[in-house]
Amino acid sequence: MPYTLVDDDAPFRAALRAIGAASTLGIDTEADSRHHYPEKVCLVQVGTGARVYLIDSLSKIDLSPLGAALADPTKQKLLHGADFDLRGLNRDWDFEVRNLYDTNVAARFAGLERFGLAALIEDLLGLVIPKEQRLQRADWSRRPLAQDALDYAASDVIHLPAVRDVLDAKLAALGRTEWVREEFQRFEEIRYVPPDPETAFLSVKGTRGLNGKQLAVLKELYAFREGEARRLNRPTAFVLTPEAMAFLSTNPTADLAAAPSLGPSGIQRMGKGIKAALRAGTRAKPVLRPPSAQPFRRPTPEQTGMLAKLKAWRVGLGEAQSLDPSLLWPMRSLERLAREPRSLDVELASPEVRAWQQREFADALRKTLA
């Protein structure tokens, strides 16, 4: 399928006319999160069935007219692993996508074992699409884009309609068309939610067990990392990895050379700033972690036994359906039911429980709870 690089207003207007006339759009994006911070969408790929338009979102084009096509419920939008793309489009342009079809989700509900796009194209269409890690990890903000990068970007949307057709047939045969339709509708509500600057540091991996004094150090390290990453326009892990932050928060007086992943070059570049953050953190008041909305309560033996029974029920359901059991009922719902086995009617109203799950499995779950 031919493709066109769109990096000026005139070709963009032509692309919009073709996009407006299409009933199905293949959508993908390329961002620079491996190389810069904060990340941004650098390329938006839109396939119309006749041509792929590679829209250079770093050019001077005003992309806002594209939002109307993405929100048009009469046009089906085909994406693969849509979560990342939806958040990026919403973050950078406030776009929303309606009438979405995610081939990754569809493949999982069709019971396939391989969900990657290249694997689906090979398994369902018999075509081999090379996926070089060099291009997957490329800095998509660099211009001009190389020919092989353009070829790679276009290949991500060219085959989506054919993959969808095969998956639709499989889902219809299994009676799961309505299942995935509800999943797609849930995906349409995905939005970018910026981290809360007051509490974002609490999400650093490996720091869950820190006490108040250590959290105060972590907060200062996080603020330093955030500012330095923005100043350098480099990913946060380039400044400080989560492992280094966890170590330094616990050992604020340790030699920086002992911190994992920091290294001599990191110490040379940022040692003064890191030490200043450590000093500020040790002098600060202890930080209290906000109380959980659902405080931990140690389960009783009866509740533990009920949860094991419910997990076994879900595993058996997965085996009977030849599906990943996690697709069939939310684990958090089972945990609540293990504590209150008579609360199924309340649980069925939970936003985590899908309507198709209620229709298909609520009766069997009720018998298990009884």
Please indicate, yes or no, whether residues 273 and 306 belong to a single structural domain of this protein.
no
- State pLDDT tens for residues 355-368: 999 999 999 999 99
Share the mean pLDDT of the chain: 96
pLDDT band of 134, cuts 50, 70, 90: confident
User: Would residue 179 count as lying in a domain?
Assistant: yes
- Residue 219: give the domain boundaries: 200-283
Number of compact structural domains in the chain: 3
Give the per-residue pLDDT at 221.
Answer: 98
User: Would residue 324 count as lying in a domain?
Assistant: yes
The Cα 67–Cα 41 span in angstroms is 14
Please indicate, yes or no, whether residues 155 and 221 belong to a single structural domain of this protein.
no
Count of C-beta atoms within a 10 Å radius of residue 342: 9
Please indicate, yes or no, whether residues 221 and 173 belong to a single structural domain of this protein.
no
pLDDT higher than threshold 70 for residue 218: yes
Give the per-residue pLDDT at 293.
Answer: 67
- State pLDDT tens for residues 77-122: 999 999 999 999 999 999 999 999 999 999 999 999 999 999 999 9
Give the per-residue pLDDT at 162.
Answer: 97
Give the predicted TM-score (pTM) of the model. Answer: 0.92
Give the per-residue pLDDT at 265.
Answer: 93
pLDDT higher than threshold 80 for residue 292: no
pLDDT band of 161, cuts 50, 70, 90: very high
Whether the Cβ atoms of residue 332 and residue 352 lie closer than 8 Å to each other = yes
CATH number of the domain that residue 240 is part of: 1.10.150.80
Please indicate, yes or no, whether residues 96 and 139 belong to a single structural domain of this protein.
yes
| Domain finish residue from 253, 283, 313 | 283
User: Would residue 245 count as lying in a domain?
Assistant: yes
Give the per-residue pLDDT at 135.
Answer: 83
Specify the amino acid at residue 193. Answer: V
- State pLDDT tens for residues 227-259: 999 999 999 999 999 999 999 999 999 999 999
pLDDT higher than threshold 80 for residue 294: no
Please indicate, yes or no, whether residues 168 and 257 belong to a single structural domain of this protein.
no
Give the torsion sign (CA, 249, 253, 256, 260): negative
The Cα 109–Cα 122 span in angstroms is 18
Please indicate, yes or no, whether residues 204 and 182 belong to a single structural domain of this protein.
no
Please indicate, yes or no, whether residues 117 and 168 belong to a single structural domain of this protein.
yes
pLDDT higher than threshold 90 for residue 182: yes
Q: What value does the mean pLDDT take over residues 203-221?
A: 96
Q: What value does the mean pLDDT take over residues 119-135?
A: 89
Please indicate, yes or no, whether residues 265 and 341 belong to a single structural domain of this protein.
no
pLDDT higher than threshold 90 for residue 343: yes
pLDDT band of 136, cuts 50, 70, 90: confident
Please indicate, yes or no, whether residues 54 and 139 belong to a single structural domain of this protein.
yes
Q: Compute φ and ψ for 29, nearest 5 degrees.
A: -135, 155
The Cα 207–Cα 204 span in angstroms is 6
Please indicate, yes or no, whether residues 176 and 36 belong to a single structural domain of this protein.
yes
Helix axes 301-321, 355-369, angle to 10 degrees: 130
